[in-house]
Each structure stands twice: as C-alpha cells, then as structure tokens.
Amino acid sequence: MIFATVGSSQIPFERLVRATGQLAGEDLLLQHGPVPPPAGVARSTAFMRFPEVLQSMRQADVVVCHAGAGSILCALREGHRPVVVPRLKRFGETVDDHQVELAEALAAEGRVVALGDLDELAEAVASAPGRRPPERQEIGLPIQAAVRQALHAPSAASRAA
C-alpha cells in the first residue's frame, strides 16, 4: 500500500494531491487536506487524527509526504525512507521555502527521497526502498537531548584555545 499525506495544514497542497492521480491504479490511501482528491483515487480522506496517520504509515509499503518535519520524522520512525515533496512559497503552499532546505539536507544524508518534479512521482514511488523494521534509535537523539548537548558543548573557539 502507498500512503500519501499532505499533513495537517489548512493550506492546500494541490500540486501534490493532483500528482497522486498518477498512483490512482495502485493501492493508495490519500490524506488530501482541504482540496478534493483526484479522480480514480478510491481511498481518501481530507484529514486524519494522529494515531490514524501512524497506523497508515505502519501499514504502508511506501510513504509519500510533504516535507514537513513531523511527517518525515513519523515516516522515518516507522522504518520508511519517504518520498518527500516540499511545499513551495511561490505557489502559496507555505510562508517560505524551509521545506526545500529540510528535504535537500535529509536527501543528502540518504534519509529521504526528495522530489522536485512531480511528473516523476510514480517513478519515485516505484523505486522507493522498502520499509525496514522500525529502528527508533536510528533517528538520533531526542530533540531535548540534542539541544541540551549543543548548549553545553564547548564552543569551537574554546576548543581551539
């Protein structure tokens, strides 16, 4: 099964929703937000509660999502290397292009498949790596511990002295 989600934002992500029409013949579950799903998508819902999102990710073979930190983190925790599509400011999908930066950084580390050209969605999904057993420790330090470590780590200047 393919699970595609645009996240919980009330701001439409019509480009991604429309592109999922390429996957309509597949076993697809689409969470599409405030825009209607494309014709041919049999299973869709505007919004999901958080436990439903997690359950859908657990059941999925492939996750496609916007490049929101929460969606990406949940997909990684469930053992996926998600196909991520950044929302873009120029299309009114977000207030700035922070999702592009996040997608590029995580793609460089091999943690996500970043997709800029939505015409390639079906190909990206077909070649996406399979789901691995969830490895919670793979994500790294919890955010609180990472912040604490960064605050208490010696600065580069004090290490050089």
Alpha carbon 132 to its chain centroid, in Å, reads 16
| Core vs surface per residue 94-107: b (16+ CB within 10 A) or e | beebebbebbeebb
Residue 138 has a pLDDT of 45
Lowest mean pLDDT among 4-18, 111-125, 145-159: 145-159
pLDDT, one tens digit per residue, over 49-89 is 999 999 999 999 999 999 999 999 999 999 999 999 999 99
Residue 93 has pLDDT above 80, yes or no: yes
pLDDT, one tens digit per residue, over 125-158 is 999 988 888 755 444 555 566 566 656 655 444 4
Domains present along the chain, CATH in parentheses:
2-134 (3.40.50.2000)
CB 112 within 8 A of CB 103: yes
Amino acid at 73: L
Global pTM?
A: 0.82
Judged by DSSP in three states, 62 sits in strand
